[in-house]
């Protein structure tokens, strides 16, 4: 199966946007960036009320994800 999605290029484009966005945030008053930001976050927050998983299903999902991540990272170095 052919897959033309370039993961690295996509990531670099996301980093470019991140720099572009952070430059904008730094250039405008707090009222401006935070109002747009709050609108975005609030829309996600409201959508959370439609979440379809039960607490048990949700915990199973996040714990499965953590197992994969911990396996990748190994135990954290303690210093």
Partner 1 sequence: MKFKYTKNSISIDNKVLSKLDEFVIDFLGLLDKYCNYVVISGYLPILFGRTRGTEDVDVFIEHVDKKIFVSFYNDLTKNNYYFLNPEDENGLYEMLIENLGIRTAINDTIIPNIEMKFTKDDIDRFTLKNHVKILLNKKFSFFISPIEVEIPYKLYLGSEKDIEDALYLWDIFKKNLDKKLMNRFMNELNVSGEQYGIKI
* Chain residues that interact with partner 1, rule: CB under 8 A: 11, 14-15, 18-19, 21-23, 25-26, 28-31, 33-35, 37-38, 40-42, 44-46, 48-49, 51, 53-56, 58-59, 62, 69, 72-73, 76-79
- Of 1 and 44, nearer to partner 1 (C-beta) is 44
What six digits make up the tokens of 17?
């946007």
| Shortest distance (Å) from residue 2 CB to partner 1 | 23
Which one, 4 or 50, has the nearer CB to partner 1? Answer: 50
- DSSP character string of 48-78: GGG--S-HHHHHHHHHHHHHHHHHHH-SPPP
Percent of the chain that is helix, strand, coil (3-state, to 5)? 75, 0, 25
Nearer to partner 1 among residue 2 and residue 8 (C-beta):
8
């Amino acid at each position: 199966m052919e897959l033309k999605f370039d993961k690295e290029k996509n990531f670099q484009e996301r980093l470019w946007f991140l720099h572009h966005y952070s430059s904008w945030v730094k250039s405008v008053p707090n009222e401006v960036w935070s109002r747009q930001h709050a609108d975005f976050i609030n829309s996600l927050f409201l959508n959370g009320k439609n979440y379809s998983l039960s607490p048990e299903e949700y915990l199973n999902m996040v714990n499965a994800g953590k197992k994969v991540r911990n396996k990748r990272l190994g135990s954290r170095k303690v210093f």
